[in-house]
Structure 1
């Protein structure tokens, strides 16, 4: 069955039905391989904010710091000393920005619900981090376009999200139980994103991807 909506990532028309789990309908794009929740079933912003406010992440939590180090450690090995960054989608308890500042990297924060000041979005950065964020994007095409604009030539984008892999039982996957998770990326989807923007890509962990923007500022299309 073909779903009439466009893919929220590559904007291709039509998508095939992928799964229905607990009355939630998911479709898969045949072009970029993104799996997404049917648009009419995505949560309203008020429900999203209420759910995010239940998160109890904070800089003093050593387990949470270890979790974030999956992205932070490989990132700081690649960015130059004094690099400036942005934690995009920092959530109610910004922690990665604190960890990076402790390592000498000044890091601004932006979150549409908890740090909505648009000032940080009027600058550009040597690196941007998105930890457990991209699965919440209702319009990933627009969000990745914005991230590309915010990133300086030669800059790094670090993305942490659990990826949908072959052989995984989708209906039993804990990641889809979060009502605010609406987009699910395959490794092939990440490769498509890199090609879309002319970025290089490194899979540094099962759930962490590092993209690097070309030193040239061209904007390839796929």
Structure 2
């Protein structure tokens, strides 16, 4: 039985890679590479990994890391544009950076800031830094976020991208057991068409999608 793709729901998927821990399938429609649901961590084990993260707005190195998304997105925003940081984590930092630049921010994280009421508002921009690779249903979640954007609004995503099967085999990114979805440029291009958005790639691990 073929497994359906968690991004586009196609069942046209095929084996892509296997290591000692997991299998990885690739969708022939949207090019997403994903881990079969049966090989994901259970919720308690997943939360235990997240609790080990020690990100903080006081860490200059972490701010530099986030600037790869922050800098190109901020240049595209109107003064005072309001945003949402989705998947803000245990030490929200990207939201702090935008607030320091005069952008009011809401945050949401299913573990650390679970107030889902913020997902009912409208925003000029929404960010998700190092988030989409953790999503069990990225197609549904990203469509929900895109629907909360104002016309012309931006969805800023930061995640490392699949480039080739050879690079994937030795890629450190697949060693994190909470990483279950791996996007390529083709995956984001499919997503942009599906959501009627335009997409730009200002950095090797950044995709900016704009609502038309």
Structure 2 residue runs of 5 or longer lacking an equivalent are none
2:86 alignment partner, one of 81, 85, 88: 88
TM-score where L is the length of structure 1: 0.93
Q: Which residue of 1 aligns with 2:144?
A: 146
C-alpha distance in 2 between matches for 1:23 and 1:94: 31
Pairing 1:80-159 to 2, within 5 Å after superposition: 80-159=78-157
SS at match of 2:3: strand
Pairing 1:23-42 to 2, within 5 Å after superposition: 23-42=21-40
Report the number of matched residues. Answer: 212
> Which 4+ residue blocks in structure 1 deviate beyond 6 angstroms?
none
CA RMSD between the two structures? 1.0
Q: CA deviation at 1:153?
A: 1.2
C-alpha distance in 2 between matches for 1:80 and 1:48: 37
TM-score where L is the length of structure 2: 0.97
Structure 1 residue runs of 5 or longer lacking an equivalent are 215-222
SS at match of 1:120: helix
| Distance change in 2, residues 1:194/1:173 (3 Å) | same
Is 1:163 equivalent to 2:161 in the alignment? yes
SS at match of 1:181: coil
Q: Which residue of 1 aligns with 2:64?
A: 66
C-alpha distance in 2 between matches for 1:47 and 1:176: 17
Q: Which residue of 2 aligns with 1:189?
A: 187
SS at match of 1:16: strand
